Each structure stands twice: as structure tokens, then as C-alpha cells.
Amino acid sequence: MPTGDPVIGLHQQARVVAFAIGKGGVGKTSVSCNFGVILAANGLRVLLVVLDPQDNAGENLGYTSTGQGDQGETLFNALVTGQPLRPTIHQVRENLDVINSGPVAGEDLAFALRLNDIADSRLAEALTDVADDYDFILLDCPPFSTTIQRQALTAAQYVVVPCQADSSSFKGIALLAEEYKLARELNPHLTILGFTLFDVDANASKMRARVRTFLQDELGDVAPVFEAVIRHAGAAALDSRARGLSATELAGMVQDGLKVLRGEVEANGVPRSAQNLAGDYMSLSREILGAIQLQEARA
């Protein structure tokens, strides 16, 4: 049974991983959705909690096109009025449920949390109601709202930071670092598992080195830069979101070119680069899981 501390109690029930950085457009949603689909496909029970009111996870997983979700009302009511927090979309994939976000869980939520002086541990407390049903809870964090991001970092055990090797990402990392320090006052076991380069050229060694240098200079040895990177694959990434499929799901649709030429199957327009993109997400997922296992072995 979980203890009286909501944060410790939550971590006794499920592994909680936040995907966060103080910047938009660097892959938080793509990485969290693809990681969730890979975990679920391997038989692990996963809850994805979308805290970004843009709710781009809906395009990544396809639930926006089906009209599912509640614009963030469940999330707002759970954090502000204390109503039970429950998945809003069940079985978006086998073993994968979602608590979606939307306009209701944007600035209005952040304002209500501040106005009512709601504790930063409120999300952790709310998640304990459902955590026993899952092996992993993944938090897709907003890029700018420190109020909501602080709720996520207080609830999380682990943080994965998608980024690019540019000045905007470095500013975003610096902002996240400040929030990380504050969150550790309530959640001292919070650990940054690593930084991962997103949407980069095939040869990312120089970019990886640049990120390492920045992290060492600004933050010290907080966490490694993962070896796995998510390479730029524009056609595959666009097709993945347009179809509401993860990279691994899209890769499974790539047709054998010879069979298409022979007329044995019809071309379906899936770019062959989908297989490379899927491989990147698989490699990153293995590294994230390895980092979690290492942390648990040290505990």
C-alpha cells in the first residue's frame, strides 16, 4: 500500500516518467507517445497523461480524428476541485490509456492552481487513484507553463529531456533546470535520466558533443546525453502524424517495392524512411529502460 506522502505513494505503485523541457517543438510529445506505444506493444500497462493544452498527442495517436477526449475537463476538475482522475480515452492501443488535455487545462488551469494555492503535489495525489492499474505513467509536459510543469516534476520519478543543439533548446534546458531544483524540494528522488537529440541529421556526433559541453558547463554531471538520437525523417514524421500512428506502427506498413512493381500489393504511400525512424525510437526506448533499471539497481 502507498504511504501517506502522495509522491512516495505514487512511486510505490508505478514508474512515472516526465518528458519535459522549457521549449516547444523539440519532441516531447513524439517521444512520449512513441515510447508509450512501444511499452504497450510489449505487454506493459501504460497511462499517458497529456499536460500540454495543445494536446498534439491526439494527432500522434489518432484520437483527435475520432472525436475522443474532453478538452481537458477531467484534468482540470481533478486538480482544482478534487474530482477523481480517470482515463478519458481507454485502450487507444491495447495496454495504453490516455488522460488528454485541451484548452480547459491550459491557462485557466494554471491560474486556478495559483489562485487556490493548490499544492505542487496535487497531480501526484490524483494519480494515486489510478496508478495501481499501470506499470508506467508517462507525463507529456507543457513547454511554457511552469505551474503545470511543476506539478508534473513533483509527481515524476524520472525525467527525459528531448532537445536540439541550438540556443533555444539551451535556454529551455536552463529553465527546466530551475524547475527541477524546485521540484526536488518536494520530490528529492526525482532524477533526470538523460537528454536525447530530436530531429537531427544522421551524423549527430558534433551536436551531441555540443550538448554535452553545454550541460557540463551549466549543470555539471546531472545526466548523460543518450547515444540514441531521433534523426530527421520529415516525410515519415508527417505521415505518422497524419495517420495517427507511431513510428513503429507506420514502419509495419512499409510495402515491399518489388511486390508493388509486380502488382502483388498496392502502394500505400508509406515512406521507407519510416523504418529508420522506428529504429531510432526503439533504440531510445531501450536506453531509457536501461537507465531506469540502473537507477533502480542503485536504490
- In angstroms, the CA 197 to CA 172 distance is 14
Per residue in 229-247, pLDDT (tens digit) is 999 999 999 999 999 999 9
Q: Where are the beta strands (DSSP E) in the chain?
A: 15-19, 46-50, 89-93, 96-99, 136-140, 158-163, 191-200, 230-231
Per residue in 80-127, pLDDT (tens digit) is 999 999 999 999 999 999 999 999 999 999 999 999 999 999 999 999
In the chain, the N- to C-terminal Cα span, in Å, equals 19
**CATH second-level architecture of 6-237+277-294?**
3-Layer(aba) Sandwich (3.40)
Q: What does the pLDDT read at residue 4?
A: 66
- In angstroms, the CA 122 to CA 143 distance is 20
Query: Region 127-131: what's the mean pLDDT?
Result: 96
For the chain, the average pLDDT equals: 90
Residue 124: which of 3, 31, 20, 32 has the closest Cα?
3
